[in-house]
Amino acid sequence: MDRSPLTARVRESNRQARAAGSRWAPHRARVMEVLRGVPAGGSVALLGAGHLYDVELDELAIRYERVALVDLDGETVRAAVERHPAAKARCTVHAPVDLTVGLGQLATHRCGVPGEPFDLTVSLGVLTQLMQAVTDAGVAPEEVPRVSLAVRDKHLRDLVHLTRPGGVLVLVTDFVSTRSAPGLAHLPPDELEPALARLVAAGNFFTGTNPYRIAALLEETEPFSRHIAQARFHGPWLWAITPDREHLAGAIVAERRPR
Ligand SMILES: C[S@@+](CC[C@H](N)C(=O)[O-])C[C@H]1O[C@@H](n2cnc3c(N)ncnc32)[C@H](O)[C@@H]1O
């Protein structure tokens, strides 16, 4: 069994989220709204599948013939699949897969998943956990922003690489917590986007998650722009991630250029 500190931390975090299924229903509804806007058919890969609380697995297994579930924590994903007997036959669990790999290999390593390239690749709230791994790895504080952005860019390259030309990639991520922006919890939905823009301008967001920057990176900056036709931001919305805290979250949907 893998007993690395990273795996132990990720498992503990998943253990704490075990009862989150109903609390995450509004988040799940928003994620599914985004995914229903993407063409169905073929294959989908879900990165950071975890408990599968942020998707409707049964519906995805109707929309796609093959569902690849990728995570560091195989036990949690396999238990989640058991709760969806109707979807099980179309699902393959790929675990443990570490989406950070060694921090020293960030520039060159590509995440490979059997069955790639997929028609749709979805990153499910895993980006901020990859960032957490940077802090946990004992990177010197002054190096954390640089290494975090390298981890973010590697994750974006993995998403592009895992998606077939003409396919779609979706990055679902959280941006900022009500811990550092308590006013968010009391805002009506239509005031969340201006609030996000203000928080981003003020630098109050998780390192590397600025959705406007990510969309611009994908559309306008090499090596992404040669592969990406367009990238759109959906959201934001509030995700009741723990009983005492909400995170502002959203999705970037990007289309890979056909070959
Ligand atoms: C916040 S959860 C996302 C919610 C999850 N989809 C669910 O419904 O439970 C992040 C997921 O990413 C996985 N994860 C964290 N770090 C990872 C890594 N380095 N490589 C692969 N998966 C990782 C965790 O095991 C967890 O399932």
Give, for all 259 residues of the chain, the pLDDT tens digit. Answer: 556 888 999 999 999 999 999 999 999 999 999 999 999 999 999 999 999 999 999 999 999 999 999 999 999 999 999 999 999 999 999 999 999 866 667 667 788 899 999 999 999 999 999 998 888 888 899 999 999 999 999 999 999 999 999 999 999 999 999 999 999 999 999 999 999 999 999 999 999 999 999 999 999 999 999 999 999 999 999 999 999 999 999 999 999 999 8
The residue whose CA has the least distance to atom 12 of ligand 1 is: 48
Architecture of domain 5-256: 3-Layer(aba) Sandwich (3.40)
Q: Which single residue is written with the structure tokens 């922003």?
A: 145
The residue whose CA has the least distance to atom 3 of ligand 1 is: 125
Spatial distance between the Cα atoms of 179 and 74, rounded to a whole number of angstroms:
30
Q: How far is the CA of 51 from the centre of ligand 1 (A)?
A: 9
The residue whose CA has the least distance to atom 5 of ligand 1 is: 50
Cα atoms in the 13 Å half-sphere on the side-chain side of 157: 18
| The pLDDT of residue 136 | 84
Q: Are 57 and 44 spatial neighbours (Cβ–Cβ below 8 Å)? A: no
Spatial distance between the Cα atoms of 230 and 23, rounded to a whole number of angstroms:
32
Q: Using CB atoms within 10 A of its CB, is residue 114 exposed (0-12), middle (13-18) or buried (19+)?
A: exposed
> Judging by DSSP bridges, how do beta strands 91-94 and 43-47 pair with one another?
unpaired
Q: What residues pair up with 247 in beta bridges, in sequence order?
A: 177, 239
Q: What residues pair up with 163 in beta bridges, in sequence order?
A: 118
Atom of ligand 1 nearest to the CA of 132: 16
Buried b (16+ CB within 10 A) or exposed e, 42-54: ebbbbbbbbbbbb
| The pLDDT of residue 2 | 58
Atom of ligand 1 nearest to the CA of 20: 9
